[in-house]
Amino acid sequence: MSTLRPLKPCRHPGCRALTRDASGYCPPHAEAARVRAAEREAKQDKARGSAAARGYGRAWRAIRAQVLREEPLCRACAAQGHLVPATDVDHIVSRARGGTDDRANLQPLCHRCHTAKTNREDGGRPRGGGG
């Protein structure tokens, strides 16, 4: 049995309608909010540039594949005695901080460890050229 969300005022400025929608908007304003969010996301994606423009083109994919072949387990998990397949290749010193694609600066990590490391380094803030 599912429980109903409590009624809350619509998030649209000046709207006094009550809604249970997870977005926080009443039906007339929910679609407009979705459109604005999609436009904002598209603008952020455009500002960020393509993967190739950010340096993750064919050459990076080849390096990444080589690292995962050579070291198929997450280095961080292995250090704690856990055998977890690596899915990501991490720059130990990020490229934004002057790191390179040199093999000595790369480590295989599972997605969970890579996300945790990135959040520690970046303070959990989104990266890229978004506005």
Per-domain boundaries in the chain: 8-48, 58-122
- pLDDT reading at 125 higher than 80: no
Q: Are the CB atoms for 76 and 115 separated by under 8 Å?
A: no
Q: How far apart are CA 62 and CA 54, in angstroms?
A: 16
Tokens 């959040």 label which residue? 119
pLDDT of residue 130: 39
- The pLDDT score that the predictor gives to residue 131 is 35
Kindly list the distances between the CA atom of residue 15 and the CA atoms of 23, 42, 92, in Å, as whole numbers in the listed order.
14, 27, 49
Quickly state the pLDDT bin for 126 (edges 50, 70, 90): low
User: Could you report the per-residue pLDDT of 74-108, keeping only the tens digit for each?
Assistant: 999 999 999 999 999 999 999 889 999 999 999 99
Express each pLDDT in 18-58 by its tens digit.
999 999 999 999 999 999 999 999 888 888 777 777 778 89
